[in-house]
């Protein structure tokens, strides 16, 4: 299992810092787990392969391109800093 941990500053609260851990087995396209923490509370979730396919279809994006965008937004870290925005709700 592979994991990454990144600090994010959501546009909904730029002064706040959250930590986002993403874990996956083969690649993001087969599904992944998420853990989000503000160092006081933590939230977990999973995204299935079917969820990824459904979301890509909903936004009419090629599935492979969608998975690549997920990779950039969720695990690329410094490589994608400033290119993606997060909103915590």
What integer pLDDT is reported at residue 9 of this predicted model?
Answer: 87
Quick one: what percent of the chain has pLDDT higher than 70? 93
CA angle at 7 for the pair 60 and 14, rounded to the nearest 5° = 80
Which CATH code fits 2-80? 2.170.210.10
Q: For residues 66 and 11, what is the distance between their CA atoms, to the nearest angstrom?
A: 22
Q: What is the pTM of this model?
A: 0.84
Helices (H), 11-62: 49-58
**Res. 53: pLDDT tops 80:** yes
**Res. 61: pLDDT tops 90:** yes
């Amino acid at each position: 299992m592979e994991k990454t941990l990144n600090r994010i500053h959501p546009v909904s609260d730029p002064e706040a810092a959250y930590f986002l851990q993403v874990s996956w087995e083969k690649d993001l396209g087969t599904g992944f787990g998420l853990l989000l923490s503000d160092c006081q509370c933590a939230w977990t979730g999973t995204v299935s392969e079917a969820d990824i396919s459904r979301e890509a279809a909903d936004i009419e994006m090629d599935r492979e391109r969608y998975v690549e965008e997920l990779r950039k937004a969720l695990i690329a870290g410094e490589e994608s800093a400033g290119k993606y925005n997060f909103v915590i709700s």
